[in-house]
Amino acid sequence: MPVRIAALTRQHRPLLKGFQNQHASLVEYLQRYALRHAEKDLLARTFLAIDRTAGGERIAGYFTLATASVERRSVSAMEALDRLPQFPIPAVLLARLAVDDRAQGQGLGRFLFEEALGLTIELARTGPVAFRLFVTDAIDGAAVRFYERFGLVRLADGYPCRMVLDLKPLVGG
Amino acid sequence: MSRFQAQTNAVIEEELDDLRERLGLRANQRADLLREIASLASWVVRQAEAGRSIEARRGRDVEALGNPLLDRLRERRTAGVAGRIALRDSEVERLAAVLDRGFSPTPALRKALSRLAATKRRPPKLRWRDDAV
């Protein structure tokens, strides 16, 4: 049976502890915060890639989406501001994307990214609200290269590295 | 000035004077004291922003620095689902360049969009590395 995508609910709780990733923060988010953010705080929604194996169901990967508002830290005048929409700019934040270490290198990360982008574009096209940017914070150099392939551009040089994609051409605005 | 504010200020003044004396600064070195405090506080906040906790250790005695504001900062870092993204000026410049340029999708984005448009889109069939052993 192929991988299926499902929004995280408390029914998935027994599966969470089996997830493994080289970045402890990505494991910690899934096991400690994701359900709370989805069901209690309504801050973000997490989607799981669930694989049925001989040993039962496993979480092969996940991604988390949230809304965000992109603002400026300073209020000083800037020439670039003339070329930008007025701040704050509404955005969808790909807050997390991770694949279990034991299932990496088989295209699941790309599939999850496409799923996240697809949901975002659908919401931007048909949802009741508008937003302009798709934003993520790449955790390391490998993540930056992964997102750059899909046209996301780095806004900073350190890590986590903030990256953006302009949604306007994708939603036909 | 309200009575509450006056009392609070008096307590703070007393604490600052106490700190000044313990740090060996004279009464006319108030600015130096505030500068030192600001630099210490900014180090503490930087550690919390980086998701680190601060502990005082002597032998087996360990005392963690507890503060609700710092806890909130630390949690924001580890949980990190930020509702508000504040850009520096250099990031604003880069964002302007991104929004300025015309639509020229990368090959991977083009493929992703065409896969998303397809009615049948299949996830990969996975082979788990621990299954293979």
Helices of type H across A127-155: 141-149
User: Chain A interface, mutation test: which of B126, B131, B133, most A Cβ atoms within 10 Å?
Assistant: B126
* Chain-chain contact of A95 with B84 (C-beta, under 8 angstroms): no
- B105 to chain A: which residues are within 8 Å by CB? 151, 169
Q: What is residue A123's three-state secondary structure?
A: helix
User: Chain B interface, mutation test: which of A57, A63, A79, A106, most B Cβ atoms within 10 Å?
Assistant: A106
Positions of chain B with pLDDT lower than 70, given as ranges:
1-7, 50-51, 74-82, 131-133
Q: Burial, B64: exposed, middle or buried (Cβ in 10 Å; 0-12, 13-18, 19+)?
A: exposed
Query: What are the structural domain ranges in chain A?
Result: 4-170
CB pairs under 8 A between A and B: 153
pLDDT at position A122 is: 94
A81 secondary structure, DSSP code: G
Nearest CA-CA distance, residue B127 and chain A, Å: 7
Q: pLDDT class for A77, splitting at 50, 70, 90?
A: confident
Domain A4-170 fold = Aminopeptidase (3.40.630)
* Chain-chain contact of B112 with A117 (C-beta, under 8 angstroms): yes
Report pTM. 0.74
* Chain-chain contact of B83 with A80 (C-beta, under 8 angstroms): no
Nearest CA-CA distance, residue B74 and chain A, Å: 12
* Chain-chain contact of A49 with B123 (C-beta, under 8 angstroms): yes
pLDDT at position B79 is: 59
Predicted ipTM?
0.89
What does A102-114 look like in DSSP terms, one character per residue?
GGTTSSHHHHHHH
Provide the 10 A C-beta neighbour count for residue A57: 16
Q: pLDDT class for A18, splitting at 50, 70, 90?
A: very high
Percent of chain A with pLDDT over 70: 98
